[in-house]
Amino acid sequence: MSEHQHFHIAEEVAGALTNGAPVVALESTLIAHGLPHPAGAETAAAAEAEIRSGGAMPATIAVLDGKIRVGLTAAEIERVATSGDVAKLSRRDLPTAVAGRSNGATTVAATMLIAERVGIEVLATGGIGGVHRGGETSLDVSADLQELARTSVAVVCAGAKSMLDIGRTLEVLETHGVPVIGFGTGSFPAFYAQDSGFGVDRQVDDFGELARLIRVKWDLGLSGAVLVANPIPPEHEMDHDDAEAAVEAALSEAEAAGISGSKVTPFLLGRMAELTAGSSLQANIELILNNARVAAALSVALAALDMD
């Protein structure tokens, strides 16, 4: 068995990669488990459209019938959003899904490792996983952090949700040598809000400089990600107290219901949307589209660097 028999790269994505044209990978867990239907499929399509209008090729990644698909059709995105049998796949889960010829949506971690394997350098998501509150005893630390440590892809996110322990998440990233760059900001964003109260390693304000920093890291032989923290646009930011109250409520419900492992994040996201009467959902959609725009421009800047 060879590796490539497990992959299916969409024709236009393969063409872009061959030509050294800009490509942006998109994760699919947010489609299947992060946003309620039909927001998942609609947001995935809108994010792809943003990337195309930014001059880059979108490649949404998921596993369907055991094949790792890089670049999904609209019908395949719909399948990821609506089939009841789409598992949440992180690094640990990928071999089981492929060997079992089953379906799954990829987290940031799994999307990163697939992107690196096929030569995609930029990934857009909503927020990364991190150290959960209480993670110092539960050891619930997202595999996204390990992947950021080892896999060379630039990940554009709106920070990490305040339902995580943002301080400890940043400590783990520092331990693993992952540069955390604030795009146009000196503070690490908190997903629904622009500012978590924690700083970033460095603020960068333009795409050329950002692309150069990323290229230099990899040229130095320093494998692993660069995390690009891109705050939600101010007009879509949630009120801090409203968001915090909903986070607290969702967390205690999760604990009372005994939710653990990979089910924690989807549970919290769903309850947040219900508790905030959809305003967290609207914020979530807007920050994903904003990250898609920044990721497209970054991938264009990286491709332009290579022309010089």
In angstroms, the CA 299 to CA 305 distance is 10
CB-CB neighbours of 135 under 10 Å = 17
Cα–Cα distance between 195 and 198 in angstroms, integer?
Answer: 7
251: amino acid identity, one letter: L
Q: In this structure, what token pair is assigned to residue 251?
A: 């967390």
DSSP 3-state assignment of 149?
A: helix
Contact letters (x/-) for ligand PSU, 237-276, by CB under 6 A? -------------------------x--x---x-------
Question: For residues 109 and 250, which CB has a smaller minimum distance to ligand PSU in the complex?
Answer: 109
The reply to whether 27 belongs to the active site is: yes
CA 96 to each of CA 83, 89, 99, 102: distance values in angstroms, whole numbers, following the listed order:
18, 9, 5, 8
The answer to whether residue 76 is catalytic is no
Cα distance between residue 30 and residue 145, in whole Å? 17
95-124 residues near ligand PSU, rule: CB under 6 A: 107-109
Residue 230 as a binder of ligand PSU (CB under 6 A): the answer is no
Residue number of the CB atom closest to ligand PSU: 34
Enter the tokens of residue 295: 């990721």
Q: How far is the CB of 304 from ligand PSU (least distance, A)?
A: 29
* Count of residues touching Mn ion (by CB under 5 A): 1
Q: Which residue out of 121, 161, 217, 237 is catalytically annotated?
A: 161
Residue 129 CB, nearest distance to Mn ion (Å)? Answer: 6
Contact pattern for ligand PSU over residues 8 through 37, marking x by CB under 6 A: -------------------x-xx---x---
Among 50, 93, 116, 144, binds ligand PSU (CB under 6 A): 144
CA dihedral 124, 116, 140, 229 (to 10 degrees): -30
Nearest distance in Å: CB 208, ligand PSU? 28
* Binder of ligand PSU out of 161, 173, 246, 247 (CB under 6 A): 161
For 75-188, where are the E strands, in sequence order?
Answer: 86-89, 103-106, 122-124, 154-157, 180-183
Chain positions 196 to 225 lying near ligand PSU, rule: CB under 6 A, are none
- Of 234, 221, 13, 201, nearest to 114 by C-alpha is 13
Q: Output 55 or 134, the one with its CB closest to ligand PSU.
A: 134
Q: Residue 27's binding partner, choosing from Mn ion, ligand PSU, none, with beta-carbon cut-off 5 to 8 A by kind?
A: ligand PSU
Q: Distance of CA 120 to CAs 10, 76, 177, 245, Å?
A: 13, 20, 21, 38
Query: What percent of the chain is helix, strand and coil (3-state, nearest 5)?
Result: 50, 20, 30
CB under 5 to 8 A by kind: which of Mn ion, ligand PSU, none does 269 bind?
Answer: ligand PSU
Between residues 40 and 179, which has the closer beta carbon with respect to ligand PSU? Answer: 40
Q: Pick the piece of the chain touching Mn ion (CB under 5 A) from 11-19, 71-79, 136-144, 174-182.
A: 136-144
- 234-254 as b/e: b if 16+ CB within 10 A: eebbbeeeebbebbeebbeeb
Selected catalytic residue, list 27, 78, 121, 237: 27
| Contacting positions for ligand PSU (CB under 6 A) | 27, 29-30, 34, 90, 107-109, 126-127, 129, 142-144, 161, 262, 265, 269
- What are the catalytic residues? 27, 161
